[in-house]
A = this chain, B = another copy of it.
Amino acid sequence: MNIGEAANASGVSAKMIRYYESVGLIPYPHRTHSGYRVYRQEDVHVLRFIRRARDLGFPVEQIRELLALWQDRSRASSEVKGIARRQVEELNARIVQLVAMRDTLRHLVEHCSGDDRPSCPILDDLADAAHDSHEQGII
């Protein structure tokens, strides 16, 4: 199987397959005499695993851990659960942050007349240092 076919079969672009190889997430594959990478069905399985984990927001380094655990037949599920729980917490932190941003902004939008007049609470708020949100940890 060519890299292009593996890409189609896995949903991971050829570009990214080479990248994952370069960072050691997947092993160097066999090559044809002319240097083409050759993949087996099993490799596609691994690529799908990676793809799905990326879809779930796992960073590459955590996928590396998950792959190692996946391929370790004697692993304890508690290790995997720990990584996943960490990831849930990280996702949650980002969600909380984004929701706070969105709500602040939505509030401002709702109080802006949005007509031809220049008066605008959105800009007023951005300009008004009295909020000092950056010292209160909104970021």
Between A75, A104, A129, the greatest number of chain B beta carbons within 10 A of the residue's beta carbon is seen for A129
Interface size on A, residues (CB 8 A): 61
Q: Binding site of A, secondary structure by majority: helix, strand, loop or mixed?
A: helix
Each complex incorporates copies of this chain amounting to 2
Nearest opposing residue in chain B for A106, CB measure: B88
- Contact surface of A with B, Cβ cutoff 8 Å: 11, 45, 48-49, 51-57, 66, 69-70, 73-78, 80-82, 84-85, 87-88, 91-92, 94-95, 98-99, 101-102, 104-106, 108-109, 112-120, 122-123, 125-127, 129, 131, 133-135, 138-139
Please name the 8 residue pairs, one residue from A and one from B, whose CB atoms are nearest each other, closest first. Answer: A77-B120, A81-B114, A91-B102, A78-B114, A57-B101, A11-B134, A81-B112, A76-B116
Q: List 21 A-B contacts (CB under 8 A).
A: A45-B127, A51-B134, A52-B129, A52-B133, A54-B139, A57-B102, A70-B123, A76-B115, A77-B113, A77-B115, A77-B116, A77-B117, A81-B113, A82-B114, A84-B108, A84-B109, A87-B105, A88-B105, A91-B105, A94-B98, A95-B98
